[in-house]
């Protein structure tokens, strides 16, 4: 779209969780290291919490891509599942043929045999649960019971949960106290500071191939931080739209005006009506988009 205009290889602020753009600095580096250490131990549950858009899914995918051949992973992106559905999802991730009408005890026996076979071959099994705060209490208990499977030396199954702060509230209730005691490692992702926002934007531009001086002016960066409060997903949205604004106006640097136009066009940031000028710039740029696409 605007890659050639800014001299970059690809759009740097895509919302797709591309691990190439994982910001391995500060708290993200610390959270990543916590996960790697916990997976080496193979014990209990691991919990990573953070606000919506704080980068949990990207962190999850980064860890998944870092696993060696001696690990078998089961990734469940939408855990709003009944216990039976959770068992089926796990079985499918482990390559076990099954259907939703299979007897629960029979399926659990098959899963257990599969875990034992993998363990005998020297492999460790890890379940990654994204959006874990959505898992019903009955399914949380079913998950805890699955982790009871063990040899004389260590567990057959380890669970890593990624969730919003509501997950902590869920686990603090009496109904889930047994699972809470199983959490061996945890980390909470906070929103980025202003200095981290600067570094985050600079890093993603660098990965995309940008080699010139700072693309965003200091005033633009301050405005981005003011509107996003340091939320990575919102930073990506705002930066992408601000680059569109500058591209539509045929300007080479993003200033505060471009960011304000982008913010006023983003419902999750501002309640007031969009500024029409932004729409007009996008409209003018459409022939450029078409030519670029061709």
End-to-end CA, the chain: 11
Q: What is the pTM of this model?
A: 0.86
H or E stretch at 171: helix 166-171
Highest mean pLDDT among 38-47, 100-109, 178-187: 178-187
The reply to whether 193-293 shares the fold of 26-189 is no
Is it true that domain 193-293 has CATH number 1.10.8.60? yes
- Within a 10 A sphere around the Cβ of 181, how many other Cβ atoms? 12
pLDDT of residue 44: 81
- Average model confidence (pLDDT) for the chain? 88
CA gap 164, 154 in Å, rounded? 29
Lowest mean pLDDT among 97-101, 203-207, 223-227, 284-288: 284-288
| Of 230, 285, 229, 231, residue with least CA distance to 258 | 285
- What residue segments make up the domains of the chain, in order of their start? 26-189, 193-293
pLDDT digits (tens, 9 = 90+) for 227-276: 999 999 999 999 999 999 999 999 999 999 999 999 998 887 754 444 45
26-189: CATH topology:
Rossmann fold (3.40.50)
CA gap 19, 74 in Å, rounded? 18
Place of tokens 């980064």: 62
CA gap 38, 255 in Å, rounded? 43
């Amino acid at each position: 779209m605007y890659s050639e205009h800014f001299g970059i290889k690809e759009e740097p602020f895509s919302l797709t969780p591309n691990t190439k753009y994982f910001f391995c600095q500060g708290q993200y580096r610390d959270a990543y290291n916590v996960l790697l250490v916990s997976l080496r131990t193979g014990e209990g549950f691991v919990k990573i919490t953070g606000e919506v858009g704080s980068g949990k899914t990207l962190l999850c995918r980064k860890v998944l891509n870092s696993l060696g051949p001696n690990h078998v992973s089961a990734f469940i992106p939408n855990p709003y599942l009944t216990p039976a559905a959770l068992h089926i999802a796990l079985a499918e991730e482990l390559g076990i043929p099954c259907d939703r009408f299979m007897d629960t005890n029979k399926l659990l026996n098959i899963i257990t045999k599969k875990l034992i076979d993998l363990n005998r071959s020297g492999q460790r099994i890890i379940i990654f649960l994204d959006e874990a705060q959505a898992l019903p209490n009955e399914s949380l208990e079913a998950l805890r019971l699955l982790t009871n499977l063990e040899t004389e030396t260590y567990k057959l199954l380890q669970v890593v949960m990624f969730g919003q702060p509501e997950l902590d509230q869920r686990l603090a209730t009496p109904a889930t106290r047994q699972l809470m005691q199983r959490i061996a490692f945890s980390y909470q992702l906070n929103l980025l500071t202003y200095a981290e926002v600067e570094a985050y934007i600079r890093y993603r531009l660098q990965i995309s191939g940008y080699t010139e001086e700072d693309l965003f002016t200091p005033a633009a960066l301050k405005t981005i931080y003011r509107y996003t409060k340091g939320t990575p997903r919102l930073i990506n949205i705002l930066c992408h739209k601000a680059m569109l604004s500058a591209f539509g106006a045929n300007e080479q640097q993003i200033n505060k005006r471009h960011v304000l136009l982008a913010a006023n066009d983003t419902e999750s940031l501002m309640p007031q009506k969009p500024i029409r000028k932004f729409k007009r710039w996008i409209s003018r740029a459409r022939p450029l988009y078409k030519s670029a696409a061709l």
